[in-house]
Amino acid sequence: MSSTQSTRIRRDDEVIIIAGRDKGARGKVIRLILADSKALVSKVNMVKRHTRPTQDSKGGIIEKEAPIALSNVQYFCPSCKAGVRLGVKKLEDGRKVRTCKKCSEVLDR
Ligand SMILES: [Zn+2]
Largest pairwise CA distance in the chain: 57
CA of 55 to the centre of ligand 1 (A): 49
- The pTM of the full predicted model, rounded to 2 decimals, is 0.83
pLDDT at 6: 67
Q: Structurally, what CATH architecture does the domain formed by 9-77 represent?
A: Roll (2.30)
CA of 104 to the centre of ligand 1 (A): 6
Report the distance separating Cα 60 and Cα 75, nearest Å: 34
CA of 33 to the centre of ligand 1 (A): 25
Report the distance separating Cα 109 and Cα 6, nearest Å: 13
CA of 86 to the centre of ligand 1 (A): 9
In the chain, domain spans: 9-77
Report the distance separating Cα 95 and Cα 10, nearest Å: 16
Collapsing DSSP to helix, strand or coil, 37 comes out as coil
Asked if pLDDT for residue 93 goes beyond 90, the answer is yes
Report pLDDT digits (tens) over 59-88. 899 899 999 999 999 999 999 999 999 999
Report the distance separating Cα 105 and Cα 66, nearest Å: 31
Report pLDDT digits (tens) over 5-56. 667 899 999 999 999 999 999 999 999 999 999 999 999 999 998 988 888 8
